């Protein structure tokens, strides 16, 4: 394959993916700008250009005295005037000066401003006034600076149907689109006599079907989880969307514990300091999450914990967590909906819930509030009669013991009833 001159860079947005026989993703930096080199267009310059563009209408209405005061104090404008031969750099007038020309003055002003931007030696207010004067006097020269501050548009956003007309490798590719997440399903493993996750494409090995961001069901990445969809017979990747970086944990050999003891990878952090606010830690997982050990990376990674089965003892029963997942059809994965997401109504049609019992994603159905019964006109609604409290009666034997009286038996006059407050049997009179 011939090398494309537009994809030979080392930047993340223009590097070739592995399947295109060139630079591998995440390779070492080769050439390009050195580390620490400042950007060609700094944020200060972008801010000054934006401020000057907003002051065009106001600058056109300023009086001559206001502009003269700004010109006399601005070193960039004074330097452009000095090129015209009207003043020296010290401000003294020159006797042998050529006639003043506004068009050549604007070109000199544009050259001075461009040199200040390239050398990054200017005061923000001075550059803003210089560009404002240039925008008022010569808008075409000021348009060159607007093109510098304009955000770079990606190739696909500018030409969404370009790949249909001509191959993408023949033109500037712009931003790199990550390869789709490979599909995984359940396959039978004869060696272990069990079912394991395998790629759908038989030509791919588990290593080839590993995604650089989401990982795979066998080797998960931090911040991602995988769930099996029994209806589609596919494993689906789920983005957990953590707000803060997940601390790294590993297992340390401990003779008292066979599986090992979870410890932070960074020795400077204590277990309390490596506690994540959303997922907790392997020692104390947050409700609804668990930490699993990845033998490939030797790291403990948080994942979503399935709900317990319905037959559960009351003392172990916890309130069911209702998690929502948003489906991204273009990327082919789900993302976990957080509690602080305010725009969930915009994609309410793409919300799903995971049924851990039947192992499939079902559409989200919001809980409806119970309807309040309306009182018919001119009709009195009577309250339902309350169920009387069941009373249990006992009969006393000669030896001082008590025996309960069944419902079908006759209740004698000397019946007794147990009083829980007094913790004793009290004789009562029962109306037959």
Structural domain contains residue 384: no
**CA 200, CA 210: separation in Å to the nearest integer?**
12
Residues 249 and 271: beta-carbon distance below 8 Å: no
Same domain for 197 and 345: yes
**CA 321, CA 308: separation in Å to the nearest integer?**
11
- pLDDT score recorded for residue 237: 92
In the chain, the percentage of residues whose pLDDT exceeds 70 is 71
Of the candidates 356, 324, 331, the residue with the CA atom closest to the CA atom of residue 230 = 356
Same domain for 402 and 253: no
- Region 21-26 average pLDDT: 52
Same domain for 397 and 359: no
Of the candidates 220, 231, 198, the residue with the CA atom closest to the CA atom of residue 354 = 231
Structural domain contains residue 32: no
- pLDDT score recorded for residue 1: 39
Q: Residues 112-121: pLDDT tens digits?
A: 888 888 888 8
Structural domain contains residue 27: no
Four-point Cα dihedral 296, 300, 304, 307, nearest 10 = 110
- pLDDT score recorded for residue 76: 85
**CA 428, CA 411: separation in Å to the nearest integer?**
11
Q: Give the residue with greater pLDDT, 264 vs 33.
A: 264
**CA 164, CA 407: separation in Å to the nearest integer?**
85
The continuous run of DSSP H or E covering 356 comes out as none
End-to-end distance of the chain based on CA atoms, in angstroms?
A: 102
Same domain for 221 and 78: no
Residues 176 and 17: beta-carbon distance below 8 Å: yes
**CA 187, CA 202: separation in Å to the nearest integer?**
11
Structural domain contains residue 305: yes
Tell me the pTM. 0.47
Q: Give the residue with greater pLDDT, 169 vs 47.
A: 47
How far is CA 350 from each of CA 239, 255, 341, 366, rounded to the nearest angstrom?
15, 49, 14, 13
Residue 138: Cβ within 10 Å count: 17
Tell me, rounded to whole angstroms, the distance of Cα 152 from its chain centroid.
23
Structural domain contains residue 359: yes
- Region 314-332 average pLDDT: 75
pLDDT(97) > 60: no
DSSP state of 403: E
Residues 223 and 241: beta-carbon distance below 8 Å: yes
How many residues can be counted in the chain? 432
Q: What angle do CA 418, 423, 428 make, to 5 degrees?
A: 30
pLDDT(150) > 60: yes
Of the candidates 305, 333, 337, 302, the residue with the CA atom closest to the CA atom of residue 232 = 333
Residue 229: Cβ within 10 Å count: 16
Structural domain contains residue 224: yes
Confidence label for 107 from pLDDT (cuts 50, 70 and 90): confident
**393-396 sheet: strands from edge to edge:** 402-404, 393-396, 416-419, 424-427
Same domain for 338 and 214: yes
Confidence label for 171 from pLDDT (cuts 50, 70 and 90): very low
Which residues have CB under 8 Å from 12's CB, separation 6+? 176
Q: Residues 232-288: pLDDT tens digits?
A: 899 999 999 888 888 999 988 777 777 788 999 988 889 899 999 999 999 999 888
Structural domain contains residue 196: yes
Domain total of the chain: 3
Same domain for 361 and 327: yes
Same domain for 143 and 47: yes
Residue with tokens 């997922």: 279
Same domain for 411 and 355: no
Same domain for 350 and 304: yes
Same domain for 352 and 248: yes
Same domain for 196 and 236: yes
Tell me, rounded to whole angstroms, the distance of Cα 109 from its chain centroid.
45
Tokens of 240: 């957990």
Structural domain contains residue 290: yes
Domain closes at, from 149, 177, 208: 149
Task: Please state, rounded to an integer, the average pLDDT across all residues of the chain.
Answer: 76
Domain that holds residue 412: 393-427
Same domain for 354 and 398: no
């Amino acid at each position: 394959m011939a090398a494309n001159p537009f994809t030979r860079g080392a930047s993340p947005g223009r590097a070739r993916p592995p399947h295109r026989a060139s630079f591998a993703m995440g390779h070492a930096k080769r050439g390009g700008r050195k580390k620490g080199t400042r950007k060609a267009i700094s944020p200060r310059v972008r801010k000054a250009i934006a401020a000057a563009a907003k002051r065009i209408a106001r600058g056109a209405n300023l009086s001559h005295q206001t502009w003269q005061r700004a010109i006399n104090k601005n070193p960039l404008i004074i330097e452009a005037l000095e090129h015209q031969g009207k003043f020296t750099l010290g401000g003294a007038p020159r006797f042998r000066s050529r006639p003043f020309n506004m068009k050549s003055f604007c070109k000199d002003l544009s050259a001075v401003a461009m040199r200040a931007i390239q050398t990054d030696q200017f005061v923000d207010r001075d550059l803003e006034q210089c560009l404002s004067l240039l925008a008022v006097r010569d808008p075409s020269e000021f348009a060159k600076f607007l093109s510098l501050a304009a955000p770079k548009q990606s190739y696909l956003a500018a030409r969404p149907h370009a790949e249909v007309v001509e191959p993408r490798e023949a033109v500037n590719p712009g931003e790199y689109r990550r390869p789709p997440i490979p599909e995984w399903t359940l396959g039978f493993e004869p060696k272990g006599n069990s079912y394991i996750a395998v790629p759908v494409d038989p030509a791919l090995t588990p290593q080839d079907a590993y995604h650089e961001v989401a990982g795979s069901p066998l080797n998960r990445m931090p911040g991602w989880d995988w769930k099996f969809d029994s209806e589609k017979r596919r494993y689906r990747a789920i983005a957990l969307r953590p707000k803060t970086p997940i601390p790294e944990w590993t297992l340390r050999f401990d003779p008292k514990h066979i599986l090992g003891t979870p410890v932070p990878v960074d020795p400077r952090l204590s277990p309390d300091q490596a506690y994540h606010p959303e997922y907790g830690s392997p020692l104390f997982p947050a409700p609804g999450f668990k930490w699993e050990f990845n033998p490939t990376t030797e790291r403990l990674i948080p994942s979503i914990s399935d709900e317990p089965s319905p037959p559960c003892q009351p003392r172990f029963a916890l309130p069911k967590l209702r998690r929502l997942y948003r489906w991204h059809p273009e990327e082919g994965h789900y993302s976990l909906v957080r509690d602080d997401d305010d725009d969930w109504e915009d994609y309410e049609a793409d919300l799903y819930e995971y049924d851990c019992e039947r192992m499939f994603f079902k559409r989200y159905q919001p809980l409806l509030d119970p309807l309040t019964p309306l009182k018919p006109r001119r009709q009195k609604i009577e309250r339902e009669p309350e169920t009387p409290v069941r009373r249990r009666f006992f009969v006393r034997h000669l030896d001082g013991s008590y025996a309960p009286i069944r419902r079908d038996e006759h209740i004698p006059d000397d019946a007794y009833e147990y009083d829980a407050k007094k913790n004793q049997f009290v004789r009562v009179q029962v109306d037959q």
